[in-house]
Amino acid sequence: MTGWHTSDDLVTRYTDGSLPEPDAWSLEKHLESCGDCAARVSQAVRETAAGVTLAEVREAVLGAAPTTSPASASASLSRSQSRSRRRLPFPSVGSRTARVLWAAGPAVRGAWLPAVLLVAFGAVALAYGADFDAARPLLLAVAPVVPVVGVALSYGAHADPLHEITAATPSAGLRLMLTRTAAVLAVSLPLLTLAGLLLPASGAPAAAAWLLPGLTLTLASLALAGYTGFRTATAVTGGGWLCAVLAPALTARGGLTARLADQLSAYLDGAPAQGAWAAAAVLCAALLATRRRAYDRLERR
């Protein structure tokens, strides 16, 4: 038992259900080793409307529980823990690399990584194998959306079979979300930029011109997710970017390569455009920091 004890405010928020789930799970872990805090929380719960119901349930369980020897109970617990360990989908490979990839998130260890490789190598193959002169403009148009999709596939019960377990850790919420996002960016940014450097310019912006917009769209997705959830947020930001870039290029007159290159130049080239993306990134980061508590319950969306 540590010297820390739960405050009255924490007990009140726990009993009325307003305490964020990660904080509630942390408190429950503390109660396992602190009898004084456990007694205070128990008394507070008994004084709520649910206290009578809990007392009735406790009496019913104690009345129906069979007599079990300590040795039998210990053996049963061991068997239960063994079955639980076998059910957890952890990788069988014991290497440090495998454990790091597993912790990095579903996007890095799932189908998203082959998809990123396909986009990068596919663009190079189109440029040099099929003599497709719009390969670089098309890559620059799609590249900012790739990390956004990776983030959408990295966090939430819909994407991660271990989400309930990871959400119970002290690193859950915004910290876990940023960790998964960093893993996605670490893979996609250098890989797609390298592919862009290998492609003919074709009048398109520089190969690294998409980096700041890609980071900004990712931060915008995270900020919007605090209001709408991940899937909706990434659909809005990623879909909005593709519509803003591709729709004018497909509807304007002239060659597709020239139209797409001109459209990208308007959004990516020059200090004013990059400065606007940088300002938007700072605003999104500030919004994330301001609303960090909103991500404690994000898995429910």
Predicted pLDDT of residue 262: 86
Predicted pLDDT of residue 79: 45
Could you list the pLDDT tens digit for every one of the 301 residues in the chain?
Answer: 456 788 888 888 888 878 887 777 778 778 878 888 888 888 887 787 766 676 777 677 777 655 545 454 444 444 444 444 334 444 444 455 655 555 566 676 677 788 888 889 988 898 888 888 888 888 999 999 999 988 888 776 666 666 666 666 666 677 778 888 888 898 899 999 999 899 888 778 888 999 999 999 999 999 998 888 888 889 999 999 999 998 887 777 767 778 888 888 889 988 999 999 999 999 999 999 898 887 776 654 4
Contact 104, 181 (CB under 8 A): no
Predicted pLDDT of residue 89: 45
Contact 137, 186 (CB under 8 A): no
Terminal Cα distance for the chain, rounded: 35
pTM over 0.75: no
Phi and psi, residue 208, nearest 5°: -95, 5
Residue 204's contacts (CB-CB under 8 Å, 6 or more residues apart) are 136, 137, 140, 260, 261, 264, 265
Predicted pLDDT of residue 6: 82
Q: Determine the Cα–Cα distance for residues 40 and 44; give it in Å rounded to an integer.
A: 6
Q: How many residues does the chain have?
A: 301
SS3 track for the chain: CCCCCCCHHHHHHHHCCCCCHHHHHHHHHHHCCCHHHHHHHHHHHHCCCHHHHHHHHHHHHHHHCCCCCHHHHHHHHHHHHHHHHHHCCCCCCCCHHHHHHHHHCHHHHCCHHHHHHHHHHHHHHHHHHCCCCCHHHHHHHHCCHHHHHHHHCCCCCCCCCCHHHHCCCCCCCHHHHHHHHHHHHHHHHHHHHHHHHHCCCCCCCCCCCCHHHHHHHHHHHHHHHHHHCHHHHHHHHHHHHHHHHHHHHHHCCCCHHHHHHHHHHHHHCCHHHHHHHHHHHHHHHHHHHHCHHHHHHHHHC
Q: Which amino acid is at 208?
A: A
Predicted pLDDT of residue 90: 42
Predicted pLDDT of residue 299: 54
Return the CA Rg of the chain: 26
Predicted pLDDT of residue 18: 81
